[in-house]
Structure 1
Amino acid sequence: MSFWSLSLPLLIRVPLQKGKSLRQNLKEHGLLEDFLKKNPYNPASKYFPNLANDAASEPLTNYMDYYGTISIGTPAQDFTVIFDTGSSNLWVPSVYCSSAACTNHNRFNPSDSSTYEATSQSLSIQYGTGSMTGILGYDTVQVGGIEDTNQIFGLSETEPGSFFYYAPFDGILGLAFPSISSSGATPVFDNMMNEGLVSEDLFSVYLSSDEQSGSFVMFGGIDSSYYSGSLNWIPLSAETYWEITMDSVTMNGETIACSGGCQAIIDTGTSLLAGPSTEVSYQSPTQPNATWFESSQILAQDGKRHQQALQDDNSLKFQPNNYHVPFSPVQESGSCTSGFESIDVDGLWILGDVFIRQYYVVFDRANNQVALASLA
């Protein structure tokens, strides 16, 4: 009898931790009020960079507080990164960066890596909050147990402003499509697929709703123990971001937004849930007390609406592809907020972490679709 072995692609779970939010960090340093005045935030600018300088309707609501650890180079240099389905580039701070934001974060040193290859290409990225410029290089990237060789990534040279200075993570690992990657850099997951490093061309995400550990992104597979019932598959409407078509948004059976259909992006790199300002401030004429579908600032000042929000927390439903998705108010640190912010770009909606963490979500590149399932 002869024996043979086959090296199989890996299915890797990368733990994510829910850290202290940027808002909390700024508040603890007594800088929140001043930051809000000096740094208007437009969530649309992440998806439409030409809007970066437009006035924001509601600043600094993108907390970006779920992050995990990767390593780059030989020997490995460790970095904490946001696994961001709303962008496509991998970048980390580097020793070439002189911005204040780089002084208190881990910085990649190419001279310390025997596998680093330099390029002459530059990189510039604008997010909803914060931006970076730098250069591109190639090296080995370790994500969990996956060794992603010859991966192109950004080495920051500037990280203007104070957003990234107070961020609890070093850099960002984008998980959207190559079509929106700055400078045409191949995204990490595309490189993994091209090198046959994952069992399936998909990844899945579970975000814990409390301060405890347990959140993860799983590359190459699905953990069925985290959801109940079946996966509800929704086709993508564009191969750019993880964009789907929603049929409507209803409250207590009444259509209150997205009438006739609208586009929505499922984005792990955005904390809240964003929609058109006229729709996120909606107050139902037939449900005068069900007004938690408003800004978190209004809710925070109105205890009666707080209580009503808790009572009506199953009344709001998002309907992508005729699949009804109940959505609840956000409860953090003993208080309740709506979890909404405004974004005014052609009726676009952004389904961020407060939405994602109520479901097990699968991002399927092989079939260009996403799946939502109720948590177990």
Structure 2
Amino acid sequence: MMKWAFVLCTLVAFSECVRVPMIKHKTARQVLQEKGLWGEYRKKFPHQPMVKFQQQQDGVQTMTNDADLSYYGVISLGTPPQSFSVIFDTGSSNLWVPSVRCSSAACNNHRQFNPDSSSTFKGTQQSLRIRYGTGSMAGILGYDTLEVGGITVSNQIFGLSESEAPFMEHMEPDGILGLAFPSIASAGATPVFDNIMRQGLVSQDLFSVYLSGDGESGSVVLFGEIDPQFYTGSFTWVPLTSETYWQIKLDSVTIDGYVVACADGCQAIVDTGTSLVVGPSSDMSRLIDWIGATTDQHGDALVSCENVNNMPDVTFNINGQAFTLPASAYVSEVGGGCMAGFGNGGTQQLWILGDVFIRQFYTIFDRHNNMVAFASSA
């Protein structure tokens, strides 16, 4: 599972929208395998967790699917614009990119923001630190113009990293754009979408996410929009139980009608920045047994590729509605074998509905009503 900023330790037509081109490159998995680091990567990433009104310009932000491990797109900061690839992460709240003041190997392997090259940059003396599964990033905060999905956001606060965790060196994206609530933003920085709302840049105070599968193109974050081409049927609306992460109540997890986890109800977060579905160790052990998987030394749930067609559906019951993942949705091929997309969160009691879940259900994140909504992906 990938989780960059793991704070737990972490619609309308396109006619007026600007599309951001995708990046073509080797996937993170391919790079790590070539360097002989894939096994170590799996081991190191255990399964845990000024108001200025302008013309509304709802936007579409395309994203690259990096081997189903992460989804990222290109933004720009500064004047003239400096471009960066960032993970769009609903499980964290800060925007940050590497800076020219960073000497870590991870920064040297990525694009770096140069404040001196931007005529609109405003510096601060305020420091920023965000924790990761393998370490942390540290840096300083500044303000500049942000362009994301065709939307121009003025005076956006963001982090300029001055040191980064070593494993960032092998990851393709440069930084992170958090889409969770201000209450969990490090250093009290205002999240990007909060600034978008304050500046009146979208027609609706919501964004929606469609995630493609199998490394395919087409993944998007739509700011202010809900697009019918990405879903079928109707939406199930679910109220938030906390305005921190996008946190909801999960009623139960069932297989063939039997409750196998979350028997008394539990809390879950909807997190685009986590690749798997993650749950507490006791619940996840039962779930993994039910699907016929075994756990290896890295914590991965391994299954026989030949047996995928015989594996059961796993159903997540939310707000009276069943959201079912067939085996074809939760099993992926990795290094010549097959792995189930379920991770052990240890003692952490919050479930994480990560990309394995979101790929099956087009998701609306509604800040006006503090709700999420799910419909089957088209």
- Fold in common (TM above 0.5): yes
**Counterpart in the other structure of 2:366:** 364
Highest CA radius of gyration, 1 or 2?
Answer: 1
Correspondent of 2:188 among 171, 184, 187: 184
Structure 2: 5+ residue runs without aligned partners? Answer: 1-15, 50-66
**Counterpart in the other structure of 1:118:** 123
**Counterpart in the other structure of 1:196:** 200
Q: Which moved more, 1:12-21 or 1:133-142?
A: 12-21
For 1:294-342, what per-residue CA distance to the aligned partner results, in whole angstroms no more than 9, with x for missing partners?
Answer: 6797764x53xx44442334x2100111210001322346854210111
* C-alpha contact (below 8 Å) 2:277/2:354 kept by paired residues: yes
Correspondent of 1:77 among 72, 76, 82: 82
* Pairing 1:53-92 to 2, within 5 Å after superposition: 64-92=69-97
Counterpart-to-counterpart distance in 2, 1:88 and 1:11 = 24
- What's the CA shift for 1:31? 2.5
The verdict on how the C-alpha distance between 1:35 and 1:350 changes in structure 2, with shifts beyond 3 A counting, is closer
**Counterpart in the other structure of 2:350:** 348
Counterpart-to-counterpart distance in 1, 2:197 and 2:68 = 30
The verdict on how the C-alpha distance between 1:316 and 1:265 changes in structure 2, with shifts beyond 3 A counting, is same
The verdict on how the C-alpha distance between 1:372 and 1:83 changes in structure 2, with shifts beyond 3 A counting, is same
* C-alpha contact (below 8 Å) 2:275/2:355 kept by paired residues: yes
The verdict on how the C-alpha distance between 1:341 and 1:36 changes in structure 2, with shifts beyond 3 A counting, is closer
**Counterpart in the other structure of 2:36:** 30
**Counterpart in the other structure of 2:317:** 319
- What's the CA shift for 1:127? 2.5
* C-alpha contact (below 8 Å) 1:16/1:214 kept by paired residues: no
Correspondent of 1:105 among 88, 98, 110: 110
* C-alpha contact (below 8 Å) 1:18/1:66 kept by paired residues: no
Identity of aligned residues (%): 55
The verdict on how the C-alpha distance between 1:206 and 1:369 changes in structure 2, with shifts beyond 3 A counting, is same
SS at structure 2 position matched to 1:231:
strand
**Counterpart in the other structure of 2:377:** 375
For 1:338-369, what per-residue CA distance to the aligned partner results, in whole angstroms no more than 9, with x for missing partners?
Answer: 10111134532111111111111110000000
| RMSD of aligned alpha carbons | 2.5
Q: When you count strand as a share of all residues, which structure comes out higher? A: 2
Counterpart-to-counterpart distance in 2, 1:18 and 1:365 = 33
**Count of residue correspondences:** 341
Letter in 1 for 2:186: S
Counterpart-to-counterpart distance in 1, 2:35 and 2:348 = 37
Counterpart-to-counterpart distance in 2, 1:36 and 1:227 = 32
Correspondent of 1:239 among 239, 243, 264: 243
SS at structure 2 position matched to 1:317:
strand
* Pairing 1:133-152 to 2, within 5 Å after superposition: 133-152=138-157
Say yes or no: does 1:331 pair with 2:329: no
Counterpart-to-counterpart distance in 1, 2:356 and 2:287 = 21
Correspondent of 2:101 among 81, 93, 96: 96
Letter in 2 for 1:115: T
For 1:117-163, what per-residue CA distance to the aligned partner results, in whole angstroms no more than 9, with x for missing partners?
Answer: 001100000133442000000000000210000000000000032x1
* C-alpha contact (below 8 Å) 2:294/2:301 kept by paired residues: no
SS at structure 2 position matched to 1:86:
coil
**Counterpart in the other structure of 1:209:** 213
For 1:85-129, what per-residue CA distance to the aligned partner results, in whole angstroms no more than 9, with x for missing partners?
Answer: 000000000001000001110000000000000011000001334
The verdict on how the C-alpha distance between 1:245 and 1:91 changes in structure 2, with shifts beyond 3 A counting, is same
* C-alpha contact (below 8 Å) 1:19/1:66 kept by paired residues: no
Structure 1: 5+ residue runs without aligned partners? Answer: 1-9, 45-61
The verdict on how the C-alpha distance between 1:147 and 1:368 changes in structure 2, with shifts beyond 3 A counting, is same
SS at structure 1 position matched to 2:229:
helix
Q: Which moved more, 1:24-33 or 1:148-157?
A: 24-33
Counterpart-to-counterpart distance in 1, 2:191 and 2:217 = 27
Counterpart-to-counterpart distance in 2, 1:138 and 1:36 = 35
**Counterpart in the other structure of 1:270:** 274
